[in-house]
A and B are shown apart, each in its own frame.
Chain A
Amino acid sequence: MSALVARQLRKTYRNGFEALKGIDLTVEEGDFFALLGPNGAGKSTLIGILTSLVNKTAGQVQVFGHDLDREPERVKALLGVVPQEFNFNIFLPVEEVVVNQAGYFGIPRAEARARAEHYLRKLDLWTRRKSEMRLLSGGMKRRLMIARALVHHPRLLILDEPTAGVDIEIRRSMWDYLRELNADGTTIILTTHYLEEAESLCRTIAIIDHGRVESVSDTATLLAALDTETFVLDLKRPADSLPALDGFGLHRLDPHTLEVQVGRDHSINALFEALSRHGVEVLSMRNKQNRLEKMFLDMLDKRRGRAA
């Protein structure tokens, strides 16, 4: 069953700006789905429509087979949303934020308190439950938004840049928790500007630009489409001259560092063998760019090149 089906979604704002120009999207149940696109591509408008925060101009949305226009209460009960921007009453204590949200979904007080405790413990916020919102750090607020979105046990969780501004340690722990939720059956739609986040978490990736879906593909297929990858090599001894290697574009960043482009038809083993033959010893190697980032930028470049 499809968790989400969007058909010909359009949104034109009052100032005439056409944010969505006929979005068609299907997200299968159980998927971990990334929605990528540059700023202003229409991601947040799309999420706004799905979560009833933005009025659509045209189109249709179905969540687990229920139509948003005809059965809004049913659809909303199935959705959890973590918005991009903080939207709390800053004077409320942490626990009240979650308990009140449960109340808005019609969950009785005692049950709401039990669920709030569960999610606040899970997200490492239980010890701060009596703190007012305004006293929390950015990372804590992000985690609280996840707890709030989960308190009614949604089957589809929509996260709009959930780890923006969060330090790497908390980001990793949030990733682990999101993987756990997905493994337990929650379908997740994620927008993010951290492309390694999408590559690490998501099985399907849709790219949106200028209010249209440019591509939808599983992550592996998308990455396989990369023509080249660029690696940075740290050398044991300084390289005074660059060896000519067939099939690899090589250039020196500094005497101890080389940058090498490896085509899809060549293997890393062949690169190391060739370097070794020329007496170049490599200490370590890293990707210059995240692979998905490279693919994403290539795709946007190609598209803009066509448009020009």
Chain B
Amino acid sequence: MNTELERWHRYWITFLTLLSKEVMRFSRIWVQTILPSAITTALYFIIFGRLIGERIGSMEGLAYIDFIVPGLVLMAVITNSYSNVVSSFYSSKFSRYVEELLVSPAPNWVILAGYVAGGVARGLTVGLVVMLVAMLFTDLTVHSWPVTLLVLVLTSVLFALGGFINAVYANSFDDISIVPTFVLTPLTYLGGVFYSIELLPPLWQNLSLANPVLYMVNAFRDGLLGVSDIPVAVAFGIILVFILALATYSLWLLERGVGIKS
């Protein structure tokens, strides 16, 4: 094996080590990491889908319970991808075992990729569980598998990166719950999970367009159900721009050692 190949092989092993460490972490505490989303989503389906949904009727030509499935799945994916990285990386800072990585020859982009992959793994696992729960309440057939899977993965990557940046700046455990509570949850709830923006007055429709979560929810709804308030290509473009910006910023933070080096 030549030197260049050896180097990439080492990076690959480092990446796999980080990924398996992350998967082991959230699997070991599945009652805290996977189960809550399944229970919450089941409650959403019972209350908003069955009890209230039947009075609401249809939305964009779909039964209300079917309409909310993509948003609820994506909400679980977003929350879990973010939480996994923010809590894992902040814990490693807090207990100082991030130093195990900093003294190793692993380049920053491999470290970032490892943590993000861990977040994606949890996001997709929870997304799958929520989807299975949804199947108990609806009979969905996927409209486009490529669009569905691509939106799931890209959204997961985007919010895992967001979680990483939050963890870098966090100085206490309180700091890792501020963004999910005061930013993520409102953006998700106002991102068209429970309604079509066509129901909103023009001013609120326009304001909603500034919410990036709206594009993800609609792209996912397009993949799953074939209906969307937003052109899918635009949604993909916006998601990719955000990923590029957050990844660049995360790498810059790592390079500077912000929050992790004196």
A contact residues vs B (CB 8 Å cutoff): 13, 45, 48, 51-55, 72-74, 76-77, 79, 81, 83, 85-91, 100-101, 103-109, 148
Contact = CB atoms under 8 A, between A and B. Distances in A.
B55 interface: no
A101 B261 contact: no
B21 interface: yes
A83 B11 contact: no
B141 interface: no
Interface stretch (B44-52, B71-79, B92-100, B217-225): B92-100
B104 A100 contact: no
9 contacts: A54-B262, A55-B257, A76-B104, A88-B95, A104-B17, A105-B10, A106-B13, A107-B13, A108-B13
Given A53-B99, A87-B97, A106-B9, 14 more contacts: A13-B262, A52-B102, A52-B103, A55-B261, A83-B99, A87-B96, A87-B100, A88-B97, A89-B97, A90-B95, A101-B100, A103-B16, A106-B11, A106-B105
A103 B17 contact: yes
B101 interface: yes
Nearest to B16: A103
B57 interface: no
Given A87-B95, A103-B13, A106-B13, A48 B262 contact: yes
Given A87-B95, A87-B96, A90-B95, A104 B262 contact: no
A109 B105 CA distance: 17
* Of B14, B91, B262, most A-chain CB atoms within 10 Å: B262
Nearest to B6: A106
B39 interface: no
A108 B11 CA distance: 11
A215 B105 CA distance: 32
A73 B101 CA distance: 12
B231 interface: no
B107 interface: yes
Contacts of A52: 102-103, 261
B14 A104 contact: yes
Nearest to A152: B104
A76 B103 contact: yes
A198 B92 CA distance: 32
Contacts of B99: 53, 83, 87
Contacts of B14: 103-106
B106 interface: yes
Contact of B105 (A53, A76, A100): A76
**4 shortest A-B CB distances, which residue pairs?**
A106-B10, A103-B17, A104-B104, A87-B96
Nearest to A80: B103
Nearest to A90: B95
Contacts of B107: 73
B96 A85 contact: yes
A151 to B, nearest CB: 11
A79 B262 contact: no
A98 to B, nearest CB: 10
A105 B9 CA distance: 11
A78 to B, nearest CB: 9
B16 A53 contact: no
Given A54-B261, A104-B100, A108-B13, A89 B92 contact: yes
Contacts of B261: 52-55
Interface in B89-134: 91-92, 95-97, 99-107
Interface string B47-64: 000000000000000000
A81 B262 contact: no
A106 B15 CA distance: 9
Contacts of B105: 72-74, 76-77, 105-106
A260 to B, nearest CB: 48
* Of B10, B18, B28, most A-chain CB atoms within 10 Å: B10
Contacts of A100: 17, 21, 100
A53 B223 CA distance: 45
Contacts of A86: 96
Contacts of A51: 103
Contacts of B16: 103
Contacts of B257: 55
A266 B129 CA distance: 84
B106 to A, nearest CB: 5
B92 to A, nearest CB: 7
A278 B101 CA distance: 67
